[in-house]
Structure 1
Amino acid sequence: MMQYEVTKEKSAEHLRQAIHHMSMQDAAFHPVSYAVWYEYSSGEHARLIDEVNALIEKEKKLNEKSTAHVFNKHIAGIDTDHAKKLVERFSQVVTEMRSSTEKTGLQTSEYTKTLDAWSNEIQQQEPQLALQLDSLLSETLMMTNSLNHLQGKLSSSLEEVDALKNEMIKARQEALQDGLTGLMNRKSFDVALHDCLQQHIVDTSLIIADIDYFKKVNDSYGHLFGDKVIQAVASIFKTVAGNSYTAARYGCEEFVLLLPNTQLETAREIAEQIRHKVAAINIKNTITQHMISNITISLGVAAYQPGEQPEGLFSRADQALYTAKANGRNRVTLSSEALVAA
C-alpha cells in the first residue's frame, strides 16, 4: 500500500501539478486519472514515472486505456480504505475546481459585458481603440467558452465520482463480509478482535466452533446441501450475536464469536445455546426430499487474560475446540479443561 507522509503544502503542490498534467491528456477527469498523475507528480514512484514517460514518448498523450493500464499496474494494489480516501479527495478537488470556474465564469461574463459597453461607446469617438477592445472582447469570449467547456467536464467527472463512491462502498462491504453467509470474514474479524483487546476490556471471551464431520456431509449430500448447512449455522450465530457480540465465518466450516464484557461461564452458556440450536437444525435434501437432522457442532471457549495478545486468546480457544473434537464432538470445552486434558 502506498503511504503519504508529506506536508499539506507539499501535497497541495502535487495536487496542482496533477491537475495540470491531467488537463493535457486525452483521458477524462476522474479518480483513476487523478491517482496516476498525483503519483507521477509526487516523484516518489520511479517505475510509474518511467512507464508514464515512455507512454507519453510513444503516444504523446495518455488516453483512457493507457491511463487505466498504469493505474492497474502500479496503483491498484491499494487497500479499500486508502482508495476510499482517494476518491473522497478527488471529489473535493473537482468540487472546488467547479466552484472556482463558476465564479471565474461569472466574473468573466460581467467583464465581457463591460468591455462590450465600452466598445460601443468608443466606437464613434476612437475607432482604433475600439478595434483593440473588440480584439480583447473576442479573446475574453474564447476564454468564457473554454471555462464553460471545463465546467461541463467537471460536472461529468462529479457524476463519475459519485458512481465510483457507491462502487467503493459496495466493494468495501464485500471485502469485510463472507459472501455465502453475510457474516464477517476472517480478515475483518481479526481486526475486530485486535481492536477489542486494544480497549483492554477485561471480561472478554471468545468462542471458536467447527461443524462436526462437515466433509462427510458434503460427500454424502453434495456441496449445495453443505452450503445450506453453513448458512443455517451462520444464521444461528448471527441471531446469538445480536448487537452485543461479533460473529464471523472464519473458515469453511469454522465460526467464531467475540463476546466483550462477558465472563467465561456466561460464554460457556452461550456456546451451549449455540450447540443445542445447531442440533435442532432440519434441512431438506432437495434430491431425496428427506429431512436431514444429524448436524452437530463442537465449540471451544476461552476468556481473555490481561496483557494477552489476540493470537494467544485465539490459540487457547482453538485448543479447547480441538479437545472438544478429540473427546467425541458435539460438545463445549473450556480452555482450562483443554489444559487439564493435555
Structure 2
Amino acid sequence: MTEVDTVTPKQVAPDEASLHESIAGALASQGDWRRAYEHLRVALDLARAEPSIPEQLRREVDRLRRERAEAREESLRDALTTVYNRRYLDRRLDDLLSDARKPLAVALADIDLFKNVNDTFGHIVGDQVLRRVAALLREGLPSHAFCARYGGEEFMLVLPAVQPDAAVRVAELARARIAEHPWSALCDGLSVTISVGLAYESGDVTASRRQVLEADDLLYAAKHAGRNRVAYRDRAGTRVIEYCP
C-alpha cells in the first residue's frame, strides 16, 4: 500500500475545514448568512476530529450564528416601528388559526384620521406617531400575544389563548392608553386616537378563517360610531365601547 493510500480522514480534515471556512467567509460577505453558517458548521465538525478545535474557528462560528439570528429577526420586523411585519403576521396567523383547540382573538387597530396628521404636522411627525403608537400597543400584552404592523397606519394585536372578556379589556386598555397619551409633548396641538375591531373565535376552523375579515368589518363599525372606539361581537350582536372623555 502506498503512502497516499494510508492517509487518514484526520489528516485530511484540516484542509477541508479551511476550505469550508473560506467558502463561509465569501458567502457571509454577500449576505448569504444561511449558507455561510452551514459551511462553518461543516468546518467546525471537521475540526472536531482534531485534538483541539482552533479558537478562531470557534469564534467565527459563534459570530456567524449570532449574525444569522439577528438577520432573521430583522427580516421579520417592521423597519420603522420595530413590531413584527406582515410577513411574520401572516405566517403566525396561519399556524394559530389551524389549531382549532385554542381560542384566538385578533384586534385590528387603525389610527384615526392619520392622513390629517401627515398633512398638518408633516411626515416626520407622522413617522414618530407610528412608532409611538406601536410602542403603546405593545405595552401590557398577555404572554404569547404580539403586535404586528398590518399595513400603513393599521396594526394587529394577536391574542392566543385569551378569553373574550380578557380580549376586550386588552383592546380597550390599548385604545385608552393611546387616547390619553400626552401627544402635545411631541408636537403642539397634536392628538391621536385609534379605532379597534376585535374578533374572537374558538374551536371552529371555518369561522376562524374569516376572523381577520370580521375584525376589519368591526373596525369600520368602530369608525362609524364616532372613532376612538372598540367594536366587537357577542351573542347579543355587535357591541361598541363608547369613549367617555
CA distance in 2, matches of 1:281, 1:223: 20
Q: Residues of 1 paired with 2:195 and 2:105: CA distance?
A: 17
- Could you report, residue by residue, the CA deviation over 1:117-173 in whole angstroms, capped at 9, with x for unpaired residues? xxxxxxxxxxxxxxxxxxxxxxxxxxxxxxxxxx9xx76555444333222121111
State yes or no: 1:192 paired with 2:92. yes
Matched, 1:299 2:199: no
Q: Which amino acid aligns with 1:246?
A: F
Correspondence for 2:7:
none
Q: What is the alpha-carbon distance in structure 2 between the residues aligned to residue 242 and residue 180 of structure 1?
A: 24
Instruction: Kindly report which structure 2 residues correspond to 1:304-323, keeping only aligned pairs within 5 A, or say none.
Output: 304-305=201-202, 306-308=204-206, 311-323=209-221
Q: How does 1:21-100 map to 2 (within 5 A)?
A: 29-31=22-24, 83=34, 86-100=35-49
AA matched with 2:229: R
Structure 2 distance, partners of 1:229, 1:322, is: 21
Maintained 8 Å contact 1:211/1:254: yes
Give the corresponding residue for 1:181. 81
Match for 1:334: what amino acid?
A: Y
The answer on whether the counterparts of 2:105 and 2:200 sit within 8 Å (CA) in structure 1 is yes
CA distance 1:327–1:224, shift in 2 (3 Å): same
> Corresponding residue for 1:61?
none
1:272-287 map, 5 Å: 272-284=172-184
Correspondence 1:314-333 to 2 at 5 A:
314-333=212-231
Distance (Å, rounded) in 1 between the aligned partners of 2:81 and 2:155: 11
User: Does the CA-based 8 Å contact 2:141-2:170 persist in structure 1?
Assistant: no
CA RMSD after TM alignment: 3.3
Q: CA deviation at 1:248?
A: 1.5
Provide structure 1 residue ranges, at least 5 long, that are not aligned to the other structure: 1-15, 36-63, 107-150
* CA deviation string 1:162-196 (max 9, x = no partner): 33322212111111222332221111122222222
Aligned to 1:203: 103
Larger Rg: 1
Alignment match, 1:148 = none
Task: For 2:195, give the aligned amino acid.
Answer: S
The answer to whether the Cα contact below 8 Å between 2:84 and 2:147 also exists between their aligned partners in 1 is yes
2:132 pairs with one of 220, 226, 232: 232
- The aligned length equals 221
Aligned-partner Cα distance in 2 for 1:179–1:310: 29
Determine which structure has greater relative contact order: mean sequence separation of CA pairs < 8 Å that are 6+ residues apart, divided by chain length.
Answer: 2
Paired residue for 2:8? none
Q: 1:266 to 1:159 in 2, by over 3 A?
A: closer
**Hey, what does 1:337 align to over in structure 2?**
238
Whether 1:162 aligns to 2:62 is yes
User: For 1:169, what is the secondary structure of its paired residue?
Assistant: helix
Following the alignment from structure 1 to structure 2, what is the Cα–Cα distance between the partners of residues 310 and 188? 18
